[in-house]
Amino acid sequence: MPLDGVVPFPPEFQRRYRERGYWEDRTMDEVFSDAFALHGDRTALIFGEATISYRQLSSQVERLAGWLWEMGLRPLDRVVVHLPNRPEFVYLHFALQRLGVVPIMALAAHRRYEIDHYARLADAAAYFGTDPELAAEVAAQNPGLRLLVTGDELLHPPAAPPAPEVAVDPDDPCVLLLSGGTTGIPKLIPRTHNDYVYNTKAASLAQDIAPDTIQLCVLPLAHNMPLACPGIQGVFLQGGIVVLGASTRPGQVLPAIERHRVTHVAGVPALYIRWLADPLAQSCDLSSVQLLQSGGQRLQPEVRRRMARTFPNAFVQENFGMSEGTLFFTSRSDPEEVRLETVGVPVCADDEVRLTDEDGREVPDGEVGELTVRGPYTLRGYYRAADYNQRVFTPDGFYRSGDLMRRHPSGAYLVEGRIKDLVNRGGEKISAEEVENLILTHPAVRNVACVPLPDPVLGERMCACVIVQEGSAISLDDLSRHLMDLGLAKFKLPERLEVVTSFPLSAFGKVSKKQLAATFSPGSV
């Protein structure tokens, strides 16, 4: 039986994707167990002073899977994974794949508000984190949580018999990723074994991942890009090395690149800007780097030029992707204007891309339209979100992404902005509506509109424009404390507060966030 709340691919598309070789009908566990066995004593993972071979990785995964089975986890159970970048995350991810258990990939920065929502929405059976107090709070609201793990069991699992071989359908979800959606808390994105294995392999080809690849991973592993685009999964499939970092500080990142002779780095523009500004960027030997992957937001030409000077042998690869599926990459062989101006083309010949107007009609080449897509690794519906799915998917299964693009004469694509009501803070997509709903619970607030303001490093920061109740006052510190008390993740807090008496309205009587943002942007009068 398919997991309740998951929208399957229609049968005719399932046949097509199998016939064309995209879907192999192998589970994540089958694929990665074979890879771990093949690469044996080669180094798989470096974390600080620890060096872990593929054989050791496989052994740790098996021990952990046995204990989790003993603790009662079974195929298609949903569990919340709320861990930072540490080897425990890697062990747990593959142990859950071994059992057919479905992880919900929460970000380490998320707090009670978000974690409680994921556990409740998915009827989670377990929570894996680092904060016992938070775990207890979530468990109090979710009696279905049968297992809470916040200690060292992931590194040192108690003795247990080996887990049995379990039957897992490759069309079932292997992971629930988080959306960057605009409506409330992020939606859950079911990625199947078939589509996620293909996603990983296709992205690996776009970066020429090979056995001699040494990848630096400092982005949060819960994100799709460092996990599978090509991420650690892509490197492990080829027998390369992942240098896992818990910090994005230049004082740790740049020496690690020099020490380990890193060849591949995945980042977002805000991180690259920060690293380039540090004196270590000039004193460390960064010549080993062959590829710098940039995603999350547009990479400005001046930043790209500085990256090329600082990393003299690296190809700066623009990448546009979404946890929902479709991936675009530029290529080393692309003409210069394509590499500098576009995000390239989709990785799969069967990625069907339409750029559409507000009525759903395709726009002529060269005009801006909403990216609307379907393909062998793009979801057909969010998890347990039937009403929302009716709005964001076309009747013939195309996903309306909310991103605006234009087709370049070369056939590649340029990102031109978004329709969605999001703030893109350093590549993290924050739903304005989610934060607004919480701000409205403050007794001093009568109305609020959260808008993005430009930032030279992070790209955007959130500004809360507030109309206060008569006779009331509010400060940014007051507002931040209120949101933190509600359990909101710190990175979602507004970083500027503007108290206004009214909101500008559009011709349709809606709040004009565009005009609000223009009013408070640098250089405005």
The identity of residue 285, as a single letter, is D
Which of 216-230, 281-295, 499-513 is the least confident region?
Answer: 499-513
183 pLDDT above the threshold of 60? no
Sorting pLDDT into bands at 50, 70 and 90, what band is 433? Answer: confident
Closest CA to 315 of 327, 330, 328, 296: 330
Residues in the chain: 525
Give the separation between CA 394 and CA 400, rounded to whole angstroms: 7
Which of 390-394, 473-477, 506-510 is the least confident region?
Answer: 506-510
Query: For residue 373, how many other CB atoms are within 10 A of its CB?
Result: 21
Give the separation between CA 178 and CA 180, rounded to whole angstroms: 7
Sorting pLDDT into bands at 50, 70 and 90, what band is 446? Answer: confident
Which of 106-110, 191-195, 364-368, 434-438 is the least confident region?
Answer: 434-438
DSSP-derived secondary structure for 176-219: EEEP--SSSSPPEEEEEHHHHHHHHHHHHHHTT--TT-EEEE-S
43 pLDDT above the threshold of 70? yes
Residue bearing the bigger pLDDT, 181 or 128: 128
Closest CA to 32 of 184, 207, 178, 175: 175
Which of 4-8, 39-43, 300-304 is the least confident region?
Answer: 300-304
Task: Give the mean pLDDT of 180-184.
Answer: 58
Query: For residue 361, how many other CB atoms are within 10 A of its CB?
Result: 9
pLDDT value, residue 52: 98
Q: Which residues contact 386 (CB under 8 A, 6 or more apart)?
A: none
Closest CA to 272 of 215, 235, 239, 311: 311
Give the separation between CA 447 and CA 174, rounded to whole angstroms: 41
Residue bearing the bigger pLDDT, 440 or 31: 31
DSSP code of 493? S
pLDDT digits (tens, 9 = 90+) for 347-386: 999 999 999 998 899 999 999 899 999 999 999 999 999 9
Q: Which residue has the tokens 């523009």?
A: 269
pLDDT value, residue 181: 55
120 pLDDT above the threshold of 80? yes
pLDDT value, residue 298: 78
pLDDT digits (tens, 9 = 90+) for 238-251: 999 999 999 999 99
Query: For residue 211, how many other CB atoms are within 10 A of its CB?
Result: 11
Q: Indicate the helix (H) or strand (E) that contains 224.
A: helix 224-228
- From the number of C-beta atoms within 10 Å of its C-beta (0-12, 13-18, 19+), residue 21 rates as exposed
Task: Give the mean pLDDT of 39-44.
Answer: 97
524 pLDDT above the threshold of 70? no
pLDDT value, residue 220: 95
Task: Give the mean pLDDT of 105-134.
Answer: 96
412 pLDDT above the threshold of 70? yes
DSSP code of 38? H
Closest CA to 94 of 199, 174, 161, 196: 174
pLDDT value, residue 419: 77
pLDDT value, residue 2: 74
207 pLDDT above the threshold of 70? yes
Domains in the chain with CATH codes: 27-41+53-169 (3.40.50.980), 422-520 (3.30.300.30)
Contact 467, 500 (CB under 8 A): yes
Question: 50 forms bridges with which residues in the sheet?
Answer: 47
pLDDT digits (tens, 9 = 90+) for 92-109: 999 999 999 999 999 998
Query: For residue 23, how many other CB atoms are within 10 A of its CB?
Result: 24
Closest CA to 421 of 294, 295, 516: 516
Give the separation between CA 235 and CA 127, rounded to whole angstroms: 27
DSSP-derived secondary structure for 108-134: TT--HHHHHHHHHHHT-SEEE-S-HHH
pLDDT digits (tens, 9 = 90+) for 266-323: 998 888 988 998 999 999 999 999 999 998 877 877 788 889 999 999 999 999 999 9
Residue bearing the bigger pLDDT, 518 or 14: 14
Which of 144-148, 184-188, 505-509 is the least confident region?
Answer: 505-509
341 pLDDT above the threshold of 90? no
pLDDT value, residue 195: 98
Mean model confidence pLDDT for the chain = 93
User: Percent of the chain scored above 70 by pLDDT?
Assistant: 98
Contact 182, 391 (CB under 8 A): no
Q: Indicate the helix (H) or strand (E) that contains 480.
A: helix 476-485
525 pLDDT above the threshold of 80? no
Pairing mode, strands 413-418 and 399-407: antiparallel
